[in-house]
């Protein structure tokens, strides 16, 4: 079933990135950075949560795609020489390696703009749009904290990851509640998304540590140690599953499975 969400998101992303009327290299570089290879966790989380809460899948798909476009633009800009300077991404050259640095910058700008434009074209659900764009701004702030990090406190580590990684996960579940016309659940589901985002980040840090890629970065593993980080992940999993305790049905089961899979993911 998660595979079905992923396939839906993938097909819709393809359709939304036709790039009609755009300069050919811009359209091609945007598609290059967006399509093929992503796990699509954020749009799947949005689609699954929205279905669990009874939203219409036709309505939710563009919101899920906008969220993924924002995630992908951030990866393109993160990989730039002035940022993390990564030459490859998802098993292929990163966008700026493939198209040059200037086109990489524009591809990211284009995807972020296309995401906002896609949202603006959806009728209603202003709170879902604001949740997603507000998270997108928090994400930039998280990257800024990461880039200019001088503080190595626990509070700083938590705030950095709450903004850098947690924000888009929060947006997925918070927007889902609005899309299902369950605004009463938005605060609880915003918190659920942040918790899932933290879970994702901790397992990311654990995988990096296994591969000796953490260096001297401030991560959950370098701060709390591997055992400490695992305990945090277990607590995040427990807390996320507790929020879902009262929900039944296939989508709720799928969401629980997604959360458990994030806890013990190996890639």
Asked whether position 108 contacts a second copy by CB under 8 A, the answer is yes
**Contact range with a second copy by CB under 8 A, out of 3-11, 49-57, 132-140, 210-218:** 132-140
Using the minimum distance from each CB to a second copy, give the nearer residue, 154 or 210. 154
Site for a second copy in 8-37 (CB under 8 A): 21-23, 25-26
CB 179 within 8 A of CB 47: no
Asked whether position 2 contacts a second copy by CB under 8 A, the answer is no
Q: How far apart are CA 130 and CA 118, in angstroms?
A: 13
Cross-strand bridge partners of residue 88 = 93
Residue 238 Cβ vs a second copy, minimum distance, rounded to whole Å: 28
**Contact range with a second copy by CB under 8 A, out of 50-58, 113-121, 180-188, 228-236:** 113-121
**Contact range with a second copy by CB under 8 A, out of 34-42, 95-103, 196-204, 218-226:** 95-103
Q: How far apart are CA 198 and CA 195, in angstroms?
A: 5
DSSP of 184-209: GGHHHHHHHHHHHHHHHHHHHHHHHH
Q: How far apart are CA 2 and CA 48, in angstroms?
A: 8
What tokens does 235 get? Answer: 């607590």
Q: What is the three-class DSSP state of 154?
A: helix
Asked whether position 138 contacts a second copy by CB under 8 A, the answer is yes
Q: What is the three-class DSSP state of 89?
A: strand
Asked whether position 7 contacts a second copy by CB under 8 A, the answer is no
**Contact range with a second copy by CB under 8 A, out of 1-9, 70-78, 172-180, 211-219:** 70-78
Q: How far apart are CA 164 and CA 159, in angstroms?
A: 8
Catalog residues that contact a second copy under the rule CB under 8 A.
21-23, 25-26, 73-74, 77, 80, 82-83, 100-106, 108-110, 112-114, 116-117, 119-121, 123, 126, 129-130, 133-134, 136-138, 140-145, 147-148, 163
């Amino acid at each position: 079933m998660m595979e079905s969400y992923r396939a839906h998101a993938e097909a819709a992303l393809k359709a939304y990135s036709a790039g009609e009327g755009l300069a050919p290299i811009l359209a091609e570089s945007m598609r290059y950075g967006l399509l093929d290879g992503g796990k699509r966790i954020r749009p799947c989380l949005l689609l699954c949560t929205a279905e669990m809460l009874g939203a219409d899948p036709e309505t939710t798909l563009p919101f899920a795609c906008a969220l993924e476009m924002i995630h992908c633009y951030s990866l393109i800009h993160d990989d730039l020489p002035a940022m993390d300077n990564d030459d490859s991404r998802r098993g292929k050259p990163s966008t700026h390696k493939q198209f040059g640095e200037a086109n990489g910058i524009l591809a990211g700008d284009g995807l972020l703009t296309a995401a906002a434009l896609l949202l603006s074209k959806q009728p209603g659900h202003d709170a879902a749009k604001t949740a997603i764009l507000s998270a997108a701004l928090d994400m930039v702030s998280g990257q800024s904290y990461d880039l200019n990090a001088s503080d190595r406190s626990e509070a700083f580590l938590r705030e950095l990851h709450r903004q850098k990684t947690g924000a888009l996960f929060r947006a997925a579940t918070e927007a889902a509640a609005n899309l299902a016309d369950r605004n009463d659940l938005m605060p609880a589901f915003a918190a659920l998304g942040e918790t899932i985002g933290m879970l994702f980040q901790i397992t990311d840090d654990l995988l990096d540590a296994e591969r000796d890629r953490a260096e001297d970065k401030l991560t959950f593993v370098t701060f709390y140690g591997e055992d400490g980080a695992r305990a945090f992940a277990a607590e995040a999993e427990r807390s996320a599953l507790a929020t879902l305790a009262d929900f039944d049905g296939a989508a709720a089961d799928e969401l629980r499975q997604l959360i458990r899979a994030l806890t013990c993911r190996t890639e």
